[in-house]
Copies of this chain bind each other. A is one copy, B any other.
Amino acid sequence: MISVDYSKVLDFINLNDLPRIGQEVTEIHYMLHKREGAGSEALGWLDWPIMDHKETIAKINACANRLRKISDVIIVIGIGGSYLGSRAGIEFLDNYFSDKKPEIVYAGHHLSSEYLCGMISHLKDKNFSLIVISKSGKTTEPAVYFRILKQILESKYSKEESKERIVVVTDPKSGILRNMANKEGYESFDIPENVGGRFSVLTACGLLPLACAGFDIKKILKGAEMAYQNFLNPDVLKNDCYKYAAIRNILYRYGHKIEIIANYEPKLNSLSEWWRQLFGESEGKNGMGLFVSKVGFTTDLHAIGQYIQDGERILFETVINVQKVNSSFYLPEDKEDADGLNYLLGKNLTEINNSALIGTMLAHIEGGVPNILINLQELSEEVFGYLVYFFKKACAISGYLLGVNPFNQPGVEAYKDNMFALLGKKGYEDLRKKIKQKGL
């Protein structure tokens, strides 16, 4: 499915670093699997790929088929972990400029009024359905968008039909959305209590939108299961997933404060966004953690390539390469060679792109930027499932190596509290006073 090449890092670390950190990694491995570490109440994702999901898969596929039949547009309402995973998967697997029906559209992942208005006029004369994804149902962005879009839906369809066009993915037992689903009879799916948002892509959170987009979710879980089996070895030297965690930790200790995830295929851009949440939210705490950033090459070689090559030497790159793409295109002949490109004849675009990748890695390494290379066999459902599990487990190991709880996100609450206070929500009166005293 994937292979990882760490050879372009060796010049930047000590030969003993990996064996030295290996003991620590092995201990963390056992702590993780015995569920003895911080945040281990949120380890539902760990054995997820080897659990039996037959029934859920059948139910998701049935629901997706139903929605696909009645919808020109399916709107997926969610933010953070309830948004990034499904989008990452769909863009990973979909064709560019796809005019497939139904169209998958995202909402509730910000508060833009402009976006909402554009969407509403886009929906005119189209049949649409809503999938609303939120564990608590309380998160402001998706809740606001859901209330608005639900009203539009209900003004377009009969009460009965509206109910068939709303599907809820939320906590199995409690919360606003669960109560709504129970009361109104919406079809619903569970986000298990013990799976955090950014670790939820292999639950209905990610799988329902992916199935709606026409992809084979069984294969995604199959890929994740292979990753589960392949990354069980407690020995860092024999476990590429743990090695990724260890090496990023070693590089961080050496002062590489920024990890850039790079790809050469824009289909991976949303995967990079998902990755950024996974690692940024898991590790960025207590004044520590790698700052995670993403680039799409070769586009960004003409944007921040200069900085990477020659700016502050506080970076390293994790480069994702797709080995086999679905389509390849040879440069056509031009007898006059007016553009001077004939030296590329007989080479397809993928080979040229691959030379850019190798050439860039060489240049960046020479410029002082360690490079980790992750090769993906192809852009398939199995590889997607495999890759997300690889990153999730690496993230858990990496967070523990850093000494943080990789499964909480206390810092995300701060802005919400201020926002609630400013908006006059009940229970935030004291904070509101405090803010107003500051003259804001």
Contacts and interface: CB of A to CB of B under 8 A. Distances in A.
Contacts of A422: 355, 358-359
Contacts of A420: 359
Nearest to A322: B114
A423 interface: yes
A392 to B, nearest CB: 15
Contacts of A348: 113
A183 B359 CA distance: 34
Nearest to A291: B258
Interface string A74-106: 000001110110000000000111110000000
A331 B141 CA distance: 12
Given A113-B350, A329-B116, A435-B362, A314 B291 contact: yes
A35 interface: no
A91 to B, nearest CB: 11
A352 B306 contact: no
B144 A411 contact: no
B326 A414 contact: no
B344 A418 contact: no
A176 interface: yes
Interface string A340-378: 110110011110110110111011101100000000000
Q: This chain: how many copies in the complex?
A: 2
Interface in A374-433: 379, 409-412, 414-426
A382 B298 CA distance: 32
A218 interface: no
A432 to B, nearest CB: 11
Contacts of A315: 291
Interface in A287-317: 287-289, 291-293, 296-299, 301-315
Contact of A306 (B143, B411, B440): B411
B360 A415 contact: yes
Interface residues of A, number: 129
Given A115-B266, A285-B311, A440-B362, A144 B331 contact: yes
A421 B303 CA distance: 22
A79 B414 CA distance: 39
B306 A147 contact: no
Given A151-B332, A308-B284, A303 B84 contact: yes
A209 interface: no
A273 B415 contact: no
Given A97-B122, A110-B353, A362-B440, 18 more contacts: A110-B296, A114-B325, A116-B327, A144-B331, A147-B334, A148-B329, A273-B303, A280-B304, A281-B307, A283-B307, A283-B311, A291-B312, A302-B412, A359-B418, A363-B415, A363-B417, A363-B418, A367-B411
Interface of A: 79-81, 83-84, 95-99, 109-119, 121-122, 137-138, 140-141, 143-144, 146-148, 151, 176, 179-180, 183, 197, 257-258, 264-267, 273, 276-277, 280-281, 283-289, 291-293, 296-299, 301-315, 325-329, 331-332, 334, 338-341, 343-344, 347-350, 352-353, 355-356, 358-360, 362-364, 366-367, 379, 409-412, 414-426, 435, 438, 440
25 contacts: A95-B118, A95-B121, A110-B299, A113-B349, A114-B379, A115-B266, A116-B327, A140-B341, A140-B352, A180-B339, A280-B303, A280-B304, A280-B306, A281-B305, A289-B307, A289-B311, A291-B293, A291-B311, A292-B304, A302-B412, A310-B410, A358-B418, A359-B418, A362-B440, A363-B414
Q: Which 7 A-B pairs have the closest CB atoms?
A: A284-B307, A96-B118, A80-B302, A359-B418, A284-B311, A309-B411, A359-B419
